A and B are shown apart, each in its own frame.
Chain A
Amino acid sequence: MSFEQFIFYLFAAAMLGSAMMVITMRNPVHAALSLVLTFFSGAALWLLLEAEFLAITLVLVYVGAVMVLFLFVVMMLDINLARLREGFVKLLPVGVVMALLVIGMMAYVVGPENFGLEKFAEPVGHPADYSNTKQLGRVLYTVYVYPFEIAAVILLVAIIAAISLALRKRPLTKHQNPDLQIAVRKEDRLRIIKSDAKKSQPANLEDKR
Chain B
Amino acid sequence: MLDALLTLVIVLLKIVALLVPLMVAVAYLTFAERKIIGYIQGRVGPLHVGPRGWLQPIADAVKLIFKEIIIPAGANRFLFLLAPLLAMGPSIAAWAVMPLGENLYITDINAGLLYVLAVTSLSVYGIIIAGWASNSKYAFLGALRSAAQVVSYEIAMGFALVGVLLAAGSMNLREIVLAQQGSLLHWFWLPLLPLFVVYFIAGLAETNRAPFDLAEGESEIVAGFHVEYSGMSFGVFFLAEYANMILISMLTALMFLGGWLSPFQGIPVLDSLFSWVPGIVWLLLKTSFFLLLFLWVRATFPRYRYDQLMRLGWKILIPITIAWLLVVGAAVVGGLGPWFDGA
Name the A residues within 8 Å of B109 (CB-CB): 52
Give 1 or 0 for each of B22-33: 1 = CB within 8 Å of chain A CB: 000000000000
Q: How far is the CA of A106 from the CA of B129 in the complex (A)?
A: 35
- Whether B110 contacts A68 by the Cβ 8 Å rule is no
A176 within 8 A of B: yes
Min CB–CB distance B127 → chain A (angstroms): 10
* Binary A-proximity of B302-332 (CB < 8 A = 1, otherwise 0): 0000011001000000000000000000000
Q: Which residues on the A side are within 8 Å of B140 (C-beta)?
A: 75
Bound state CA distance, A59 and B119, in angstroms?
8
Interface stretch, picked from B9-17, B65-73, B143-151, is B143-151
Those of A133-181 within 8 Å (CB) of chain B:
133, 176, 178
- Chain B residues near A76 (CB, 8 Å)? 144
The answer on a CB contact under 8 Å between B114 and A60 is: yes
Residue from A52, A63, A64, A75 in contact with B132 in the complex, judged by beta carbons closer than 8 Å: A75
State the main secondary structure of chain A at its contact with B.
helix
Q: A107 in the interface, Cβ–Cβ < 8 Å? A: no
Residues of B in contact, count (CB < 8 Å): 30
A59 to B115, CA, bound (A): 9
Instruction: Please determine whether A59 and B118 come into contact, CB atoms closer than 8 angstroms.
Output: yes
User: Which residue in B115, B132, B151, B171 is a CB contact (below 8 Å) of A69?
Assistant: B151
Q: When A53-B111, A72-B147, A178-B311 are in contact, do A60 and B118 touch as well, CB less than 8 Å?
A: yes
Report B147-180 residues with CB < 8 Å from chain A CB: 147-148, 150-151, 154, 171
Q: Tell whether A31 is near chain B: CB-to-CB under 8 Å.
A: no
Which of A30, A63, A75, A133 touches B122 (beta carbons < 8 Å)? A63
Query: A52-B109, A75-B132, A133-B171 are known contacts. Are A64 and B114 too (CB-CB below 8 A)?
Result: no
Bound complex: CA A65 to CA B171 (Å): 21
> Does A22 touch B at the CB level, under 8 Å?
no
Enumerate B108-139 residues with CB–CB distance to A below 8 Å: 109-111, 114-115, 117-119, 121-122, 124-125, 128-129, 132
Tell me whether B118 and A68 are in contact (CB under 8 A).
no
Q: Among B118, B128, B148, point to the contact of A64 (Cβ < 8 A).
A: B118
Beta-carbon contact of A52 and B121 below 8 Å: no
The distance in angstroms between the C-alpha atoms of A155 and B145, with both chains bound, is 26
The interface residues of chain B lying within 8 Å CB-to-CB of A71 are: 125, 128, 147
Q: How far is the CA of A3 from the CA of B7 in the complex (A)?
A: 14
Quick one: which of A3, A75, A131 has the most chain B CB within 10 A?
A75
Distance of A166 Cα from B5 Cα, bound (Å): 57
Residues of B within 8 A of A176 (CB): 307
Contact in complex: A131, B110 (CB < 8 Å): yes
- Contact B128 A133, beta carbon cutoff 8 Å: no
Q: Which residues of B contact A30 (CB under 8 A)?
A: 79
CB-CB under 8 A from B129, the residues of chain A are 33
Is there a chain B Cβ closer than 8 Å to A21's Cβ? no
Contact yes or no, B122 A59, CB < 8 A: yes
Contact B124 A68 (CB under 8 A): yes
Flag whether A19 is at the interface (Cβ < 8 A).
no
CB distance from B155 to the nearest CB of A (A): 9
CA gap between A52 and B109 in the complex, in Å: 10
- Which chain A residues lie closer than 8 Å to B111 at the CB level? 52-53, 56, 133
A59 CB contacts on chain B under 8 angstroms: 118-119, 121-122
Q: Which residues of B contact A69 (CB under 8 A)?
A: 147, 151
Highest count of chain A CB atoms <10 Å: which of B115, B117, B118: B118
CA A76 – CA B148 in complex, angstroms?
13
A64 touches B115 (CB 8 A): no
Contact call B147/A36, Cβ cutoff below 8 A: no
Q: Which residues of B contact A64 (CB under 8 A)?
A: 118, 121-122, 124, 154
Least Cβ–Cβ distance between A35 and chain B, in angstroms:
12
A69 to B308, CA, bound (A): 21
* Residue of A whose beta carbon sits closest to that of B121: A64
- Asked if A75 and B128 make an inter-chain contact with CB atoms under 8 angstroms apart, the answer reads yes
- Closest A residue by C-beta to B124: A68
A72 to B152, CA, bound (A): 14
Q: Which residues of B contact A65 (CB under 8 A)?
A: 121, 151, 154
Instruction: Please judge, given known A-B contacts A29-B132, A71-B128, A176-B307, whether A60 and B110 are in contact too, CB under 8 Å.
Output: no
Cβ of B4: which chain A residues have Cβ within 8 Å of it? Answer: 3
CB distance from B343 to the nearest CB of A (A): 14
Chain A contacts of B311 at CB under 8 A?
178
Question: What residues of chain A have their CB less than 8 Å away from a CB belonging to chain B?
Answer: 3, 29-30, 33, 36, 52-53, 56-57, 59-60, 63-65, 68-69, 71-72, 75-76, 131-133, 176, 178
Residues of B within 8 A of A (CB): 4, 76, 79, 109-111, 114-115, 117-119, 121-122, 124-125, 128-129, 132, 140, 143-144, 147-148, 150-151, 154, 171, 307-308, 311
12 contacts between A and B (CB under 8 A): A52-B110, A53-B111, A57-B114, A64-B122, A64-B124, A65-B121, A68-B147, A69-B147, A69-B151, A75-B143, A132-B110, A176-B307
6 cross-chain pairs, A with B, having the tightest CB-CB distances, nearest first: A64-B121, A60-B118, A59-B118, A56-B114, A56-B118, A52-B111
